[in-house]
Structure 1
Amino acid sequence: MKFEPLFRPFAAALRPLALASLIANVVLIVTGAAVRLTDSGLGCPTWPKCTDASYTTTAAMGVHGMIEFGNRLLTFVLAGLAIACFLGALAQPRRRSLVRLSIAVGLGIPMQGVVGGITVLTNLNPWVVGLHFLLSVALITVAYAFWRRIDEGDGAPRSLVPAPLRALGRLTALASLAVVAVGVVVTGSGPHSGDRGAKRNGLDPAAVSQVHADLVFLLIGLSLAIWFALRAVAAPAAAIRAAGMLVVIELAQGLIGFVQYFTHLPVVLVAAHMLGAGVVWWATLAVLWSLRERPARTAPEPAATTPLPAGEPVPAA
C-alpha cells in the first residue's frame, strides 16, 4: 500500500489511541448524564441543527443550549479518534481483524448521533433515551475489543480455565448486561427526564428499582463465585485480579445506588452511578478477556521429505 508510510505514526501510537477511544466512549455516558440531569435535553430543540436557523448554540439558548451542544461536539472527538485508530490498524501487517473492529467503532459513532437526534425529535422519549445509552454500552464493548486485540496474536482463542468457569464467566456477563439494561428502565421511570416536560415510561419506580436491586445481588454473587473459583483452580493471576476488581467496583457501584435511592436521587450521585455503569461493564469485559488468550498464528511446518538412498541419482528439475 503506497500510503502505508503516512499511517505509521498512527500505528506507533495505536494502543494509546485505542485506549483514548475507549475512555471517550465512557465519558460520553457522563456528558449524556449531564445533559439529562441539568434538564438540557432539549437545549438544542432540533436535529441535526441546534436551532432551525443555526447548527451551533446561540446566546438565546442559554446554558442548556451550551450543555447539549457540548455533548454533540464530543461526537467529533470520538470520530477523530476512530479515524486515527482505523489508519493505525491499516498500517499493521496482516491484521484484518483490527481493521474490522476499527470500522465497527467508527460506524457506531454516526449511529449514536442518529439515535441522539431521534431522542431530541421525539421530545426525549424515555425508551429512545434508553436505546441511546445501550448503544454507548455496545460501543464500549467494541472499543474494548479493539484495544485488547492490539496486543494479541491472530491464532484461535485458547481457554485458560476449565469449561465450567468459562460458562460462569458468560453467565456473569449476561447478569451484568441485565443490570445495566434494567437500570436504564429505572432511569426512564424516575424524575430526571432531561426536560421538565418530557414524559416518563409510566412504570412504578419502586417496583423496577427492586428488580434492579435483585439483579445487582445476583451479579455480585456470581462475581464472587467466579473469583473464588478462579483462586481454587489456580487460574492465571490476571484472571483472579480482574475478577477481584469486578467485585470491588460492583460493591462501590451498589453503595452509590443505594445511597442515591434513599437520598431521593441527588444529581451528583446519579451522575456517579451512570459513570459506574460504564465502569462495571468495562470490568466485566476484562474478566471475560482474562479467561482466554489468543496466541500468535503459527506458520505451517514444511512438509517432510523422504531422503533418497545413497548413490541414487537426483531427478532433474
Structure 2
Amino acid sequence: MMRSVRFPVSAALLRRLALASIIANVAIVVTGGAVRLTASGLGCPTWPRCTDASYVATSEMGAHGVIEFGNRMLTFAVGVIALATLLAVLAHRPRRRGLLPLAVAVFLGIPAQAVVGGITVLTNLNPWVVGLHFLASMAVIAAAYALWRRTVEPDGPTTPVVPAPLRTLARLTTLVGVSVLVVGTWVTGSGPHAGDQGAARNGLDPETISQVHADGVFLLIGLSIALVLAFRAVGATRAARAAVLLLAVELSQGVVGFVQYFTHLPAVLVGAHMLGSCLVLLAALHVQWATRERRPLTPAPLPIPTPEPATTAA
C-alpha cells in the first residue's frame, strides 16, 4: 500500500505567507484607489465580463479599460496568495489553534470583495457601495493581520498584561478608529473623485462631513495619547510602544488629510491617504495584541517517585 506523501510547511514559510497576504490586501486597496482617482471605475463597464462581448479589456477601451481590468487581475493574485496561505495552514504540523478559521476567512473574503466590486460597477459606482467596497477590504486586512499574529505567537493561553480598564480603553480607541474610517468613506462619497465623470455623489455637504471626520480624528488622537500615558504609568512597555506607533501613524495620516483638503484633493495625496487608512487600522490592531500575550504551553511536571521505606532482615 502506498503512503500519502506529505509536504510539510515550516513555521517560517507560514509566517511569510501570512505577512504577504496582509501586504497584498493593502496593495489592492491602493490600486483600487488608483482606479477611482484616474476616473477608470467604469473602464470595464460591466461585470463579471469587462464588456458585454469580452472578459478582457480591448484596445478600443483605452487606458481606462487597461487600468480597471488590471485591477481586476490583481484580485486573482491576492487570491492565489490567500489560497497558498490556506494550504500552508492545512499542511503545517502541529497546527496551531485558530489558524484555520482565519485562513478560511481571508480566502473567502477575496471573492466576496470581487462580488462587491462587481456590484459597484453594476450600480454605476454608487458612492455608498464604493464605500462598502473599501470597508470590506478593511475587514479582510483585519482578518489577515489576526492570521499573521497567530503564526508568530506560541500555541498557549493568552494572559492580559495591562489592567482591564486599559484594555477597555484600547478597544474603545480601535472602535473610534473604525468609525473614522467609515465617516471617511462618506467624505470620499461627497467629494470630486467619483471614479467616473458620470458617477453620482452621496449628496452630503463636503464641508460639513469633512468637519465631522476631522472631529473623529481629534478624538482618536486624544484617546491614543491617553493610551500612551496610561500604558507607561502601569509599566506596560510593549503596549506603550504600540500606542506610540499608533499615534505616529495617526498624526501622519492627519497631516496628509489636512493638506489634501486645503489643496483641493490632489489625486496623489488622496491615494496616500487611502494607504494611511490601512496603516491606521493595522496600528490599532497592533495595540490590541500588545495588551495581552500568549504564553507557550508547558508540559506538566513528571511526578517524583516516592522512595519505598527500607526493610530490615528479620
Equivalent position of 1:8 in the other structure: 9
Equivalent position of 1:229 in the other structure: 230
Structure 1: how far apart are the matches of 2:4 and 2:102?
Answer: 21
C-alpha offsets along residues 30-50 of structure 1, whole Å, 9 cap, x if unaligned? 111101011100000111111
Change over 3 Å in CA distance of 1:154–1:129 after alignment to 2: same
Structure 1 residue 268 corresponds to structure 2 residue 268: yes
Q: 1:7 Cα shift?
A: 4.5
Q: 1:92 Cα shift?
A: 2.9
Structure 2: how far apart are the matches of 1:107 and 1:292?
Answer: 28
Q: Which moved more, 1:11-20 or 1:40-49?
A: 11-20
SS in 2 for 1:131: helix
Structure 2: how far apart are the matches of 1:34 and 1:180?
Answer: 18
Structure 1 residue 152 corresponds to structure 2 residue 153: yes
Structure 2 residue identity aligned to 1:162: P
Q: 1:159 Cα shift?
A: 0.4
TM-score by length of structure 2 reads 0.93
Aligned residue pairs: how many?
308
Structure 2 residue identity aligned to 1:180: L
Q: 1:288 Cα shift?
A: 0.8
Equivalent position of 1:110 in the other structure: 111
Equivalent position of 1:256 in the other structure: 256
Structure 2: how far apart are the matches of 1:190 and 1:37?
Answer: 11
Does the 8 Å CA contact 1:12/1:88 hold for their aligned counterparts? no
Q: 1:16 Cα shift?
A: 1.3
Structure 1: how far apart are the matches of 2:228 and 2:178?
Answer: 19
Does the 8 Å CA contact 1:125/1:199 hold for their aligned counterparts? yes
Change over 3 Å in CA distance of 1:201–1:4 after alignment to 2: farther
Q: Which moved more, 1:117-126 or 1:93-102?
A: 93-102
Q: Where in structure 2 are the equivalents of 1:168-183 lying within 5 Å?
A: 168-183=169-184
Q: Where in structure 2 are the equivalents of 1:169-208 lying within 5 Å?
A: 169-208=170-209
Q: 1:84 Cα shift?
A: 1.2
Q: 1:6 Cα shift?
A: 2.2
C-alpha offsets along residues 182-235 of structure 1, whole Å, 9 cap, x if unaligned? 001110111110000001111111111110000000000000110111111111
Structure 1, unmatched stretches of 5+, are 312-317
Structure 1 residue 44 corresponds to structure 2 residue 22: no
Structure 1: how far apart are the matches of 2:113 and 2:86?
Answer: 18
Q: Percent identity of the aligned residues?
A: 62
Structure 2: how far apart are the matches of 1:240 and 1:70?
Answer: 41
Equivalent position of 1:314 in the other structure: none
Does the 8 Å CA contact 1:7/1:87 hold for their aligned counterparts? no
Q: 1:101 Cα shift?
A: 1.0
Structure 2: how far apart are the matches of 1:286 and 1:3?
Answer: 40
Q: Where in structure 2 are the equivalents of 1:1-317 lying within 5 Å?
A: 5-8=6-9, 12-90=12-90, 91-235=92-236, 237-299=237-299
TM-score by length of structure 1 reads 0.92
C-alpha offsets along residues 264-315 of structure 1, whole Å, 9 cap, x if unaligned? 111111111111101111111111111111122344566899888777xxxx
Does the 8 Å CA contact 2:8/2:93 hold for their aligned counterparts? no
Structure 1: how far apart are the matches of 2:272 and 2:130?
Answer: 18
CA RMSD of aligned residues (A): 1.8
